[in-house]
Amino acid sequence: MRPARVQLLVTCLVDRFFPGTGESVVRVLERAGVTVSVPAGQTCCGQPAFNAGHDDEARTLARYTIDLLSASDDPVVVPSGSCGDMVIHQYAALLADDPEYGPKAQALAARTYELTIFLTRVLGVTDVGAQGTGTISYHPCCHGLRGLGIAGEPKALLAGVHGATTCPLPEAEVCCGFGGLFAVKMSNISGEMLARKLDAIEACGADTIAVTDVSCGMHMNGGLRRRGSKVRVEHIADVLAGEAPGAKERS
């Protein structure tokens, strides 16, 4: 059944760093005919703590987020493969021994979707009425690609953007080197991985690279800016919301 309402888990990075992207997500979902609610009091899903091996803190944040999203039975949409993977796969594993939250985690996982998966597989939409310009390419973020199995969905959505063309990205499935704290703790390796990714991005001929995660996006954009490149990485919601590429609002 096609859901009429969804809860948006906006993610802490979108919330504090890229609020415009959060609004793009809402716009795209509403345009697809879905009513969006934003459960108040959202913080962090706990992925950074889990990623760093601090499982206790990750569990604390998981329980908090589970409670927040369990007040309603509406499906949950996350504009991130990484946070999506956390809620969909890692919560249940982290809380496997918790008799109360283990089952809650599983129930939440069953109704949580990454944005592009929700649009294409649940709503069955690839044309969201988006307007664009220029050439758009796509970098598959690792956790979405290999954690959630996001495959052709974002490309199908991008192909549905009116007025824009798409082009392939060489070595698209090679990680950009973000990896959360990895980019700070092992910043030199991360920087070399980023350079490799940016070389491919600049060579592919696109004006815009669409991604499913603002985290990888800010990593690549940070590198592109440092290089003085004109190419910009955009969250796919910003592309699909029909804003002119490169002009995303970030007040």
The number of angstroms, rounded, from the C-alpha of 188 to the middle of its chain's C-alpha atoms is: 25
First to last CA, the chain: 38
* Cα–Cα dist 222/161, whole Å: 26
Q: Minimum distance between the CB of residue 102 and other proteins, rounded to whole angstroms? A: 17
* Cα–Cα dist 71/193, whole Å: 41
Quick one: 54 or 135, whose CB is closer to other proteins?
A: 54
- Chain positions contacting other proteins, by CB under 8 A: 10, 14-19, 22-23, 37-44, 46, 48-57, 60-61, 64, 142-143, 145-147, 173-175, 177-196, 218-219, 221-223, 225-226, 250-251
Q: How far is the CA of 229 from the CAs of 220, 224, 245, 248, in angstroms?
A: 11, 5, 14, 16
Q: Minimum distance between the CB of residue 75 and other proteins, rounded to whole angstroms? A: 15
Q: Minimum distance between the CB of residue 40 and other proteins, rounded to whole angstroms? A: 4
**5 DSSP β-pair partners:** 35
Return the number of other C-beta atoms located less than 10 Å from residue 248's C-beta.
Answer: 22
* Cα–Cα dist 42/92, whole Å: 19
Instruction: Show the tokens assigned to 33.
Output: 């005919």
Quick one: 119 or 183, whose CB is closer to other proteins?
A: 183
Q: Minimum distance between the CB of residue 55 and other proteins, rounded to whole angstroms? A: 5
Q: Minimum distance between the CB of residue 214 and other proteins, rounded to whole angstroms? A: 9
Q: Minimum distance between the CB of residue 198 and other proteins, rounded to whole angstroms? A: 9
DSSP state of 130: -
Quick one: 164 or 198, whose CB is closer to other proteins?
A: 198
* Cα–Cα dist 216/239, whole Å: 16
Asked whether 51 and 19 are in contact (CB, 8 A), the reply is no
* Cα–Cα dist 113/118, whole Å: 5
Return the number of other C-beta atoms located less than 10 Å from residue 73's C-beta.
Answer: 10
Quick one: 53 or 124, whose CB is closer to other proteins?
A: 53
Q: Minimum distance between the CB of residue 250 and other proteins, rounded to whole angstroms? A: 6
Sign of CA dihedral 231, 234, 239, 244: negative
Quick one: 106 or 187, whose CB is closer to other proteins?
A: 187
Quick one: 64 or 126, whose CB is closer to other proteins?
A: 64
Quick one: 165 or 227, whose CB is closer to other proteins?
A: 227
